[in-house]
Structure 1
């Protein structure tokens, strides 16, 4: 598992950020950054596991969400968004997308 972390909000809820390998293989990014807004860390991870991402764990707080990431996930109605992991300044301009867009990508055919 790559980097991940969390931030506790003033109301007691948390925002969890995880860098995960892309769940699809057809011309998809090597890794994605997923943000989850939930009551606590366990519920955030359960939300991802219920979507089929079974091997999702949060160990430590090496890469907590940035203030911009927290704002993005709090303003999304589902509270669950993703984008590719930025490797340079250009990639960091990519917009956040709902998790449905990641999970509905077609798999590679051989």
Structure 2
């Protein structure tokens, strides 16, 4: 289970934001994951298909900020992450870390172009 939330965009799609424990484990903190999809169910399915099986969205307490929505909409995969700030989900702290593609978190190689 994860803290998070979502926002519905004017075109009907949604951006889901989740705070998840780091897959690195060992007290490595948590990560903030953003997913752009047609609806909440598809957003969670995208994460589950990547191996994050126990991902659920309960409530809407920690929805994406406008800056996070912009970041995920401008990424070609529509699925990005960065280390979550210590103050909670996208708190008022200045976050200087850039967003990363999800394959960088899961340790998957980039697709080969031919």
Return the TM-score normalized by structure 1: 0.87
Alignment of 1:70-89 (within 5 A): 70-87=69-86, 89=93
Q: Would you say 1:62 and 2:65 are equivalent positions?
A: no
For the residues of structure 2 that align with 1:12 and 1:31, how far apart are their CA atoms? 29
Structure 2: which 5+ residue stretches go unaligned?
A: 88-92, 109-114
Q: How many residue pairs end up in the alignment? A: 103
1:48 aligns with 2:51: no
Q: What's the CA shift for 1:87?
A: 2.1
Offset at residue 25 of structure 1 (A): 2.8
- TM-score, structure 2 normalization: 0.84
Mapped partners of 1:55, 1:85: distance in 2: 19
Displacement of 1:23: 1.3
